[in-house]
């Protein structure tokens, strides 16, 4: 996953110009633009934490999405040598994202981290079986978004499906919601609607020029968020982290909506 695309998406949703955010974190606009477009290396953990603080996003979400955990692992392995052997055992077995998710779920269940427990973002809580569409066949991205939008719960007097689609596509034009790893996050903000999500897997992946890593889109998470707030930015960063952990691969084999939601829950429990 290219983290720069996520930083750009969060920056625009937070209402910051490129110059505003660059000044706040003490870098040039040119540098930040290169990062957002994938032309420069992913920032250091310290700089990622500074970006997260300015955006109002929990720092561990951005650092985790970037997989910038090497220094922390090295330091911990020096303090607890047996931890290094555990990492080596995992590497020798070439465990994939699904197996790692099971290990992380066990650690989270047996040794919960209270500092991340409060208001922890969750996509699984926003899903329901009737809002999971597996192996959808459609001519293009706009059609997929419209089909997903038709599944969203709409209160009386709320926006129509077409109004939802128009808002979501307008945001897409301002900043692509393609996160990399075959995942896309089309979303809109509607104060009159409760937060909810629709998960869509595509029978035929859609190639997008805007995909930061060039990987065709296989999975869409279409989100409707309530009033703009920092929590919704944390949710977007959370999805970016899931995509970098192999969300599209994890859900690809799901045979039922319930199985797809369990897959998301397991990844979130492991995070």
User: Nearest CA to 197 among 223, 220, 225?
Assistant: 223
The structural domains of the chain, with segments of one domain joined by +, span: 124-269
Report the sign of the C-alpha dihedral through residues 6, 11, 17, 23, in that order: negative
Among 6, 11, 2, 4, residue whose Cα is nearest residue 238: 6
3 state SS for 116-129: HCCCCCCCHHHCCH
Q: How far is residue 240's CA from residue 66's CA, in Å, rounded to a whole number?
A: 9
Q: What are phi and psi of 132, to 5 degrees?
A: -125, 120
The fold of the 124-269 domain, in CATH, is Mannitol-specific EII; Chain A (3.40.930)
Q: With H, G, I as helix, E, B as strand and everything else as coil, classify residue 187.
A: strand
Q: pTM of the full predicted structure? A: 0.76
Which positions ≥6 away from 189 have C-beta within 8 Å?
167, 224, 225, 226, 227, 228, 232
Residue-level pLDDT, tens digit, the chain, 271 residues: 578 889 999 999 889 999 999 999 999 999 999 999 888 888 888 898 899 999 988 887 887 777 655 555 666 666 787 877 888 888 888 888 778 878 878 887 888 765 544 457 899 999 999 999 999 999 899 999 999 999 999 888 888 999 999 999 998 888 889 998 999 999 998 877 888 999 999 999 999 988 888 899 999 999 998 776 678 888 998 998 899 889 999 999 899 999 999 999 988 876 5
């Amino acid at each position: 996953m290219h983290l720069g695309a996520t930083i750009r998406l969060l920056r625009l949703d937070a209402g910051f110009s490129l110059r505003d955010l660059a000044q706040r974190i003490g870098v040039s606009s040119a540098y930040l633009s290169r990062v957002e477009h994938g032309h420069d290396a992913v920032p250091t953990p310290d700089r990622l934490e500074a970006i997260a603080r300015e955006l109002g996003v929990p720092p561990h979400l951005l650092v985790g999405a970037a997989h910038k955990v090497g220094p922390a692992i090295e330091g911990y392995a020096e303090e607890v040598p047996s931890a290094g052997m555990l990492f080596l055992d995992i590497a020798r077995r070439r465990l994939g994202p699904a197996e790692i998710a099971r290990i992380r779920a066990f650690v989270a269940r047996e040794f919960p981290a209270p500092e991340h427990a409060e208001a922890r973002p969750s996509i699984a809580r926003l899903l329901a079986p009737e809002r999971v569409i597996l192996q959808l066949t459609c001519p293009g991205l706009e059609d997929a978004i419209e089909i997903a939008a038709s599944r969203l719960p709409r209160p009386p007097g709320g926006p129509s499906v077409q109004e939802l689609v128009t808002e979501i596509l307008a945001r897409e034009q301002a900043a692509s919601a393609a996160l990399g790893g075959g995942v896309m996050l089309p979303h809109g903000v509607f104060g009159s609607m409760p937060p909810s999500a629709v998960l869509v897997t595509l029978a035929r992946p859609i190639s997008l020029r805007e995909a930061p890593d060039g990987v065709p889109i296989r999975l869409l998470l279409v989100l409707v968020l309530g009033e703009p707030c920092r929590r919704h930015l944390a949710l977007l960063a959370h999805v970016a982290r899931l995509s970098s952990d192999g969300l599209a691969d994890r859900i690809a084999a799901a045979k039922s909506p319930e199985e797809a939601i369990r897959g998301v829950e397991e990844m979130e429990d492991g995070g």
